[in-house]
Amino acid sequence: MHIAGPPEGLKAPSGGSNSSVIEARSGEGSQKLRTKRRAVHGVLLLDKPLGMSSNDALQKAKWLLGAEKAGHTGTLDPLATGVLPLCFGAATKFSQLQLDADKTYEAVARLGIKTSTGDAEGEPIAIRPVDVTPASLSALVKQFTGALRQIPPMYSALKKDGRALYQYARAGIELEREARDITVYSLSLALSQDEAGFAIALGVACSKGTYIRTLAEDIGEALGCGAHLSVLRRIETGGFSAAQCISLSELEALAPAQRLARLLPVAVLLGQHQAVTLDNENAGRFLSGMRRRGHGPDASRVAVYAEQEQALLGTAHIKAGELIPGRLLSPVEIRQMSEQADSWCHGPSPAPLPEEPTLFEINEKVKNE
């Protein structure tokens, strides 16, 4: 799939610096235009295109938004498409929550052919006859549902001694890998046949760390014919669905302000957290890392907000009646998020009343005490 770049004659950077360098060529010379990146906070739900790595998709979106800081929430292979939440600015502090989230996939496995990579990008290494019926396929659903042990593929981003496994695989080195615990919550298998042969359509809801490519290969082995993955699409992760996503081409077609409007607030990453709201005095102390008392029964996941503007402060847990800080936003990030929301939705916000100190003033006061 072709992904359009910047306007004709301009070269988009791959990302990584604090400013975007755009090179415009004209005749024999060239001119470099440098645009300063800005603080951008939020979550972009991207529908990753076919044939692009997750990091390349991230860098393109980062460039389109002019963002200083960004990260994705789990790698999708170039072969795969679908839901890839991208975190910008303060949202990167909570991206691990999406890495740990359950996921749902739709996939197609081609039967009778094993490949070197387990998917359509590899070379065929074994070809076997296919003798499969809907009944024999249905019998495998229970075998591959529930708590399972799965050996990760060599062609994966997992690391050994600081190097990704796929780097060893490309060098022709096979390493021993430990099986990992995964859970397949639900599995559907449907047999089909076309001019290319037999295939299985899979629907998989699973835990983090599940390799659908390996699952397809294991099912192929159980059928006695082998298989490789030919299509993979992530349709849901951590409560975000493909229907909520935007493609890179759609994002690029928007005006800059419209692109920023596609960002969801940082707090969407904390939807499974218990919410606690603090008054301004306690909010300032909490932001300084101080525990606060009197916030109910024990809870492992808490999202903490300030009463003033319902500003997100960070995460915490509650133990023995104490609210114990976890990952905290900085006062600068909180102010930028508030200004960002106001500028996109309501225009400039009025200054707080003089008699009511702002959250940032309280935080500074606490630090100086």
Q: Which residues are catalytic?
A: 77
C-alpha span between 324 and 289 (Å, rounded) = 8
Q: Which two three-digit tokens encode residue 314?
A: 């960070």
Helix (H) or strand (E) holding 65: helix 54-65
Asked if 27 and 20 touch (Cβ cutoff 8 Å), the reply is no
Asked if 79 and 255 touch (Cβ cutoff 8 Å), the reply is no
Q: Which two three-digit tokens encode residue 85?
A: 């939440």
Q: How far is CA 229 from CA 51, 126, 132, 134, 183, in A?
A: 15, 14, 17, 19, 19
DSSP string, 78-137: TTEEEEEEEEEGGGGGGTHHHHTS-EEEEEEEEETEEESSSBTTSPEEEE------HHHH
Nearest Cα to 363, choosing from 324, 318, 327, 332? 332
Strand partners, 12: none
Q: Which two three-digit tokens encode residue 268?
A: 């969407």
Q: How far is CA 7 from CA 3, 4, 12, 19, 205, in A?
A: 12, 9, 9, 18, 40
Helix (H) or strand (E) holding 18: none
The burial class, CB within 10 Å (0-12 / 13-18 / 19+), for 353 is: exposed
Phi then psi for residue 214, to 5 deg, are: -70, -40
